[in-house]
Amino acid sequence: MNTMKKLALGIAALVLVSAQAQGPDNQKDVVKRTVKITGKVVGFEMGDYTYVQIRNTKGDEASYFVGGKPGLDWFLAAHANKTATFTVQFVSSVIPEAGGRIDIERVSDAKVGKVTFASWMKAERKKMTMEQMEKKYWPMIEKLLPKEGQ
């Protein structure tokens, strides 16, 4: 999959998540539970949406939907292989590509040391536009995608 196609899919996912959060009541996400996980970002997966692969402190790996906050995937990529605390939500969400409402696990926030996603994003936005951030951080995500044939 070429870079532009991946970028278009990522942007479409952000638009879809934003639209779902603001849709009719029967379209709203239902958060069933929230947990904190300590671990490291070890990769990304791209499909209809962006997923982040996290290895927890016990060495177990899991893949989570990255959702709801523009730039969260950039923060995760910029801090890959650093110990972080991830907020993971277990959510009932409407995903049209999946045929309707399904249960998903998504990273909704992250913190590396004392640096929160929100504080990082605020500082980055003072220096760059979203387009400039995309040019800077997208290659970091690409480096963490599986190689063709893997």
Q: Which residue do the tokens 């309707």 mark?
A: 100
Whether 2 shows a pLDDT value over 70: the answer reads: no
C-alpha span between 49 and 141 (Å, rounded): 13
Q: Which among 84, 86, 106, 88 is positioned nearest to 40, based on CA atoms?
A: 84
Please, which pLDDT band fits residue 97 given cuts at 50, 70 and 90?
Answer: confident
Helices (H), the chain: 3-22, 72-78, 117-127, 130-143
Whether 51 shows a pLDDT value over 50: the answer reads: yes
Query: For 29, phi and psi rounded to 5 degrees?
Result: -65, 145
Q: What is the pLDDT of residues 80-92, one digit of tens each?
A: 999 999 999 999 9
Whether 26 shows a pLDDT value over 80: the answer reads: no
Higher pLDDT residue, 115 or 150?
115
Kindly state the percentage of the chain with pLDDT values over 90. Answer: 71
Mean pLDDT of 121-131: 97
Residue 59: CA atoms inside 13 Å, Cβ hemisphere, count?
0
Please, which pLDDT band fits residue 20 given cuts at 50, 70 and 90?
Answer: very low
**pTM listed for this prediction:** 0.80
DSSP string across 43-85: EEEESSSEEEEEEETTS-EEEEEE-SSTTHHHHHHHTTTS-EE
Pairing status of strand 61-66 against strand 100-112? parallel
